[in-house]
Structure 1
Amino acid sequence: MKPIELKGFREKIDAVDDQIVELLAERAGYVKEVGKRKKAAKLPEFRPEREVEIIERMCERNNLLNSGLPCESIATFWLEIISGCRALEKKLEIAYLGPQGTYSELAARVLFGHMVDLVPCYSLEEVLERGEKGQSDISLLPVENSIEGTVGRTLDLLVSAKLKISAEISIPINHLLLRKVGGFNHISRVVAHSQALLQCQKWLDLRLPSVPRLAVESNGVAAQMAQQDEKVVAIAGKLAQEKYELVSLANDIQNEKFNRTRFAALGKFEPDGCGTDQTSIIVGVRDQVGAMHKVVESFAKNLVSLRRFESRPARTTRAHAWEYLFYIDLEGHINDTNVKKALDDVKENSVFFKNLGSYPLFEKLGLPSRLT
């Protein structure tokens, strides 16, 4: 193709880009007006159900246009557009388990985009406390890993949490072996979060069987240690590699290639239903035959599907030995008629009941709910 022909196409692309930015400016103007009205009505700036609605509509329209662009790209574009426009109303502050470079930080970026302020915290307790005290708008907590199961400490904190789950996201976990310098010589130890060490055990047993392993608070801490000592190798993700300028000695070293972690975003508001919702509850039942059967039956007779059902020892001062609480994720919003009826029945057959929140699902990197 001759340069003159390329020039013509590039001029057309430039013209389209000019139209896009003009339309974005128009969109930003409308967002500012919405922001004024939200502020007057004391409504939250973050409306995840609305964001899901926009992104799904754009993905569906993209499919109708046969643009050739994957829905992942469209979703990512709009997540950032929404993030930038939301910041015109208010730049959200997100508390997450630090330090920088953790998968929690990645989850925050995926769910909220880049136009937010991220606050790394030293513990899950601090993450939750910042949201409860109003120091941060959102507290982002890891809930469950597809390989290792639930994050027990998070579940314990949810029992007494004053915040509601307002959104949830699941991101892929791809572990790298990181070092300050290249090569496998003179490695003194492997450091990582305990879950990461378990998730990469097969690879480590095969490639570094005699190297000591040390569990630390997070993979971000591990990456910091590797940055400070060239004899230390860390297990962490791509974000940590970039943050701490480390060399990747090996990629995707986890035992299972399908490895994901769910994160819950907690805030002081409850989203409206959007049609692709999930509700989470905690239930304690009487110590008698058939008590749990009645709870499960309540969901069945109201045609409510359960997505997760898990027991955990109650960790309260009032709990007796071997007393359990049940953590349940179910399909639908608490304002849906069938869900409301089911939960009313559950309350009647429970000694403890807590609604953790109804929220839209962002299940895959760059993609919401049913489009995964």
Structure 2
Amino acid sequence: MSASISLQSDVSVGYLGPPGTFSHQASMKRFGDSLAYVPYPKIEDVIAAAAKEEITYGVVPIENSTFGAVVQTLDAFVDQPRVRIRAEVYLPVTQSLLSRYQLSAIRKVYSHPQAFGQSRQWLDQNLPNASRIEVSSTAKAAELAAAETYTAAVSSEVCAAMYHLDVVAKDITSAKDNTTRFFVLGQSSDLPTGDDKSLLMFTVDHRLPGALCSALDVFAKYKINQTAINSRPSRQRQWHYMFFVEIVGHELDDNVARALEDIKSYCLDLVVLGSYPRQSY
């Protein structure tokens, strides 16, 4: 991936904006500060832009160690199945309460649903009567808190400086090792490194008893470890689901290629969203 970047003169990176979000911070961690960064108002906008090649890469959150999968990203993959995952990035995440007002004066709190989930215990104890309003990003929350009276945001300390807010309370996350994983998206995946993961997206015929179990058994047959499984409504018909399964291995590895061929007999749709080097966290 680094080699491909060096061969491109105009590299752009899309992320969930506005500037200061954790997606922005993850992008900077992965690419540095010498590229063109493009903020988008929604996760699905980033994924659509990457699929249409309007940007070179897109960076989107996929899961948080405290609050689980980012469903907006999974749902957007259903709509944009041609986008490819290039890499993963882990970012330690610390949420803080930002405001222009003291804690006792705060009546409303903005944040992203994931950030609310990560800080729910602190908010329940310290701001039980303040209304919580979900917005598209933690940076957008900070932007709104800076403009409105008696309002706060659950966001990062980076945003405190950017939006001229005070840090009313530091590190209000429930888990002190809180980490978010991000995907780097593009139009292709790199060749195998020998230590890779792949994300698959598929549906099964729910009319067949044990169809999902049969599909998952294929991985055991080829000694492929599964690191995560999630499901989302397929939006094709009621009570029909799209399954997301992350496995250890590259789609070009012999055992993975054979497993993908076998699993097709149990699946109505099967898409490999990408294979990418496994990163430490």
Task: Calculate the TM-score normalised by the size of structure 2.
Answer: 0.91
Post-superposition offset of 1:131: 1.7
Given candidates 131, 155, 158, the residue that maps to 2:74 is 155
Given candidates 178, 194, 204, the residue that maps to 2:123 is 204
Given candidates 166, 175, 182, the residue that maps to 2:86 is 166
- Quick one: distance in 2 between partners of 1:179 and 1:293? 49
Matched residue, 1:329 = 246
For each residue in 1:39-91, what CA deviation from the matched residue of structure 2 results, as whole angstroms up to 9, or x when unmatched? xxxxxxxx15x69xxxxxxxxxxxxxxxxxxxxxxxxxxxxxxxxxx568435
- Quick one: distance in 2 between partners of 1:293 and 1:193? 35
Bigger shift: 151-160 or 323-332?
Answer: 151-160
Given candidates 90, 98, 113, the residue that maps to 1:178 is 98
- Quick one: distance in 2 between partners of 1:100 and 1:168? 20
Given candidates 342, 347, 351, the residue that maps to 2:264 is 347
Matched residue, 1:289 = 209
Q: Where do 4+ consecutive residues of structure 1 move more than 4 Å?
A: 86-89
Matched residue, 1:54 = none
For each residue in 1:250-299, what CA deviation from the matched residue of structure 2 results, as whole angstroms up to 9, or x when unmatched? 11101222322221111112211112210111121222113222212211
Post-superposition offset of 1:241: 2.0
CA change 1:250–1:335 in 2 (3 A) is same
- Quick one: distance in 1 between partners of 2:152 and 2:210? 52
CA change 1:229–1:87 in 2 (3 A) is farther
Given candidates 45, 56, 61, the residue that maps to 1:142 is 61
More helix by share: 1
CA change 1:153–1:213 in 2 (3 A) is closer
Q: SS of the residue aligned with 1:321? A: coil
Q: SS of the residue aligned with 2:39? A: strand
Structure 1 unaligned regions, length at least 5: 1-46, 52-85, 365-372
More RCO (CA 8 Å, sep 6+)? 2
Name the amino acid aligned to 1:222: A
Give runs of aligned pairs for residues 94-243 of structure 1, distance below 5 A.
94-161=13-80, 162-180=82-100, 183-229=102-148, 231-243=150-162
CA change 1:235–1:165 in 2 (3 A) is same
User: Do the aligned residues in 1 keep the contact of 2:63 with 2:180 (CA within 8 Å)?
Assistant: yes
User: Do the aligned residues in 2 keep the contact of 1:106 with 1:239 (CA within 8 Å)?
Assistant: no
Post-superposition offset of 1:115: 1.7
- Quick one: distance in 2 between partners of 1:209 and 1:114? 40
Larger Rg: 1
User: Do the aligned residues in 2 keep the contact of 1:87 with 1:115 (CA within 8 Å)?
Assistant: no
Identity in percent? 33
Structure 2 unaligned regions, length at least 5: none
User: Do the aligned residues in 2 keep the contact of 1:166 with 1:359 (CA within 8 Å)?
Assistant: yes
More strand by share: 2
Matched residue, 1:359 = 276
User: Do the aligned residues in 2 keep the contact of 1:280 with 1:355 (CA within 8 Å)?
Assistant: yes
Post-superposition offset of 1:353: 0.6
User: Do the aligned residues in 2 keep the contact of 1:279 with 1:359 (CA within 8 Å)?
Assistant: yes
Q: SS of the residue aligned with 1:120? A: strand
Name the amino acid aligned to 1:355: V
CA change 1:285–1:212 in 2 (3 A) is closer
User: Do the aligned residues in 2 keep the contact of 1:180 with 1:247 (CA within 8 Å)?
Assistant: yes
User: Do the aligned residues in 2 keep the contact of 1:97 with 1:104 (CA within 8 Å)?
Assistant: yes
- Quick one: distance in 1 between partners of 2:203 and 2:144? 42
CA change 1:329–1:212 in 2 (3 A) is same
For each residue in 1:88-145, what CA deviation from the matched residue of structure 2 results, as whole angstroms up to 9, or x when unmatched? 8435211111111111101111111222211111122321222222221012222122
Q: SS of the residue aligned with 1:257? A: coil
- Quick one: distance in 1 between partners of 2:38 and 2:159? 16
Matched residue, 1:280 = 199
User: Do the aligned residues in 1 keep the contact of 2:17 with 2:41 (CA within 8 Å)?
Assistant: yes
- Quick one: distance in 2 between partners of 1:230 and 1:290? 55
Q: SS of the residue aligned with 2:105? A: coil
C-alpha root-mean-square deviation of aligned residues, in Å? 2.0
